[in-house]
Homo-oligomer: A and B are copies of this chain.
Amino acid sequence: MRKTKTYMDKLMGGKEFRRRFDEEYQNLCIGEQIARARHHAHLTQAALAKRIHTTKSAISRYESVDYNGYGLPLLNKIAKACGTDLRIVFTAKRTKNNSRAVTL
């Protein structure tokens, strides 16, 4: 029930900001999720790499915050090697007040 917008509110309401933030947050999330799943499975980057027949630098790249070119084939291999399921879901866009997301 906030009445007045703070400086940050105005800044973060900007379309350009929102667009960029959403884009980067998406990626940040995936990299972080991979790292989490990997740690959860008690694997080093090198150990995970070995399981899917690649190298640790490829894993590091995928866990990098700035990466943007994920492919599902590799993403699936990583998920399986970490003993997790990878779920891809199209959902209805979140509302402005960020309340709920409805499956289509």
Name the CB-closest residue of B to A33.
Answer: B90
Checking B34, B72, B88 against A69 with a beta-carbon cut-off of 8 angstroms, the contacting residue is B72
Name the CB-closest residue of B to A38.
Answer: B90
Q: Mark A61-104, 1 if CB is under 8 A from B, else 0.
A: 00000001111110110010011111111111110000001001
Q: How far is the CA of A53 from the CA of B73 in the complex (A)?
A: 24
What chain B residues lie within 8 Å of A89 (beta carbons)? 33, 86-87, 89
In the complex, whether A55 has a CB less than 8 A from a CB of chain B is no
A87 to B91, Cβ gap below 8 A? yes
CB proximity of A13 to chain B, nearest CB, Å: 19
In the complex, the 9 A-B pairs of residues with the closest C-beta atoms, listed nearest first: A70-B72, A33-B90, A87-B89, A37-B90, A84-B90, A85-B91, A71-B71, A85-B93, A36-B104
Q: A36-B104, A88-B88 are in contact. List 13 more A-B contacts (CB 8 A).
A: A26-B76, A36-B90, A37-B90, A68-B72, A70-B71, A72-B72, A75-B88, A85-B92, A85-B101, A86-B90, A87-B87, A87-B89, A87-B91
